[in-house]
Amino acid sequence: MPSARAKQKHRVPEWYVSEYMMDRALAAVVRKTRKLDRRHDIPYLAGYSKNAKTIYIDRDLPKSFLFRRRRIHIDRFLVLHEAVEKALMDQLGLDYLDAHQIATRAEQAAVRASGLTWHAYDAFMKKYVKKSGDKKLSKVPRDLDLKPYREERDSALLRRMGAAVEKTPKHKARASMGFRAVGLRKRVARKAPRRK
């Protein structure tokens, strides 16, 4: 049986894993996010602009849900995931899949530190994911970073996203998204992975 001194030696400092410190770190990431946009269709629930200034959350995803008679607001968890993922790809040059795994672990830690179970959170999220065959995409942001979709090799989804942007009337596209929609479809076609 280990001695009291041995137990004390291997104890992790309370600040290292405290809910308070995780909440502070999460709040700091959310504060650094320049813009949060919930007006668009975002496959796989959330994404980010190419310049990392905007975090996009799908417009059909509710902002909160009930868990054990508590209202849980979810935007901060998604912002954390997307900000970490984008920073790892841009700053460290990680591939999307590696960055996504690390960002998911950070998201899990934040969810658990808030007193929510990962199972409940993940089950809620899965109900709203838009995949290739799901709900029609009608409003996709021009500056959405497409790297995750390309690395997932989801060329059908990339084509649907490009078509959704192209269907936006030109005056609305310029006013709401600041671009000409035709350009995105051409860029998607050039960058879409070829089937083997």
Structural tokens at position 14: 């309370």
pLDDT computed for residue 184 by the predictor: 45
- State in Å, rounded, how far the first CA of the chain is from the last one: 59
Give the pLDDT confidence of 77-89 residue by residue, as tens digits.
999 999 999 999 9
Q: How far apart are CA 80 and CA 103, in angstroms?
A: 8
Lowest mean pLDDT among 6-15, 24-33, 43-52, 100-109: 6-15
Q: How far apart are CA 172 and CA 23, in angstroms?
A: 39
Q: How far apart are CA 168 and CA 39, in angstroms?
A: 14
The more confidently predicted of residues 194 and 21 is 21
Average pLDDT across the chain, whole number: 78
DSSP assignments along 66-120, one per residue: EETTEEEE-HHHHHHHHHHHHHHHHHH---HHHHHHHHHHHHHHHHHHTT--HHH
Other C-beta atoms closer than 10 Å to the C-beta of 133 total: 8
- Rounded to an integer, the average pLDDT of 58-83 is 93
Give the pLDDT confidence of 144-160 residue by residue, as tens digits.
998 998 888 878 888 88
